[in-house]
């Protein structure tokens, strides 16, 4: 059964304002695997944005692993700062709990990745006064607003449904 989507997220100008006011981002569900979207997003943000990033993954933290040269923390509560934005790469059923952790910590925004939609989680965040974004990618939104879509090959200059021949 597909979840009925009744929640309305922030508009494009509102998302831009969120990104403009953000200084620190905690990535919950950070992976050390280069094929995972959290790794790709973190790589982009580290190289192409002004944000200070913090990585959260209890399994990697327990092993003392670093990712992209940075310490990985076991939980949001273990971070040395309260992040402005908590970006969540977790399973659907984990979203309300992570949003509640962000609320308890005092974050300003929770941002659930592409494909992540949980109206209960959105309600928890909004009830506490947080900005809530669901089913959107911080990397794509940042690149869209700041001209970096070409960094991942999104801007080709060609609009076509057919595969282009290589010259």
pLDDT tens digits for range 60-108? 999 999 999 999 999 999 999 999 999 999 999 999 999 999 999 999 9
The pLDDT tens digits for 148-162 are: 655 444 444 444 444
Helix axes 138-146, 37-48, angle to 10 degrees: 30
Tokens standing for residue 130? 């947080």
User: Which strands make up the sheet holding 24-28, listed edge to edge?
Assistant: 66-67, 70-73, 52-56, 24-28, 85-88, 109-112, 131-133
Enter the pTM of the model.
0.85
User: What's the CA gap between 31 and 42, in Å, rounded?
Assistant: 10
Domain 12-152 belongs to what architecture? 3-Layer(aba) Sandwich (3.40)
pLDDT (tens digit, 9 = 90+) per residue, 127-147? 999 999 999 999 999 988 887
Nearest to 135 by CA among 32, 1, 10: 10
What is the three-class DSSP state of 143? helix
- H or E element: which one contains 42? helix 37-48
Residue-wise pLDDT for 7-44, tens only, equals 889 999 999 999 999 999 999 999 999 999 999 999 99
């200084």: which residue's tokens? Answer: 23
pLDDT band at 3 (very low <50, low <70, confident <90, very high): low
């Amino acid at each position: 059964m597909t979840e009925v989507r009744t929640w309305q997220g922030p508009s494009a100008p509102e998302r831009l304002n969120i990104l403009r006011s953000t200084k620190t981002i905690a990535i919950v569900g950070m992976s050390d695997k280069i094929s995972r979207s959290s790794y790709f997003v973190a790589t982009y943000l580290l190289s192409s944005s002004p944000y200070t990033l913090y990585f959260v993954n209890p399994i990697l933290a327990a092993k003392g692993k670093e990712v992209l040269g940075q310490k990985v923390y076991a939980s949001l509560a273990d971070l040395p700062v309260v992040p402005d934005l908590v970006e969540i790469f977790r399973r659907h059923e984990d979203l309300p709990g992570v949003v509640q952790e962000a609320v308890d910590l005092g974050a300003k925004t929770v941002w659930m990745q592409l494909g992540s939609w949980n109206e209960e989680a959105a309600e928890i965040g909004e009830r506490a006064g947080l900005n809530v974004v669901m089913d959107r990618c911080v990397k794509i939104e940042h690149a869209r607003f700041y001209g970096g879509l070409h960094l991942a090959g999104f801007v080709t200059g060609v609009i076509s449904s057919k595969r282009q021949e290589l010259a």
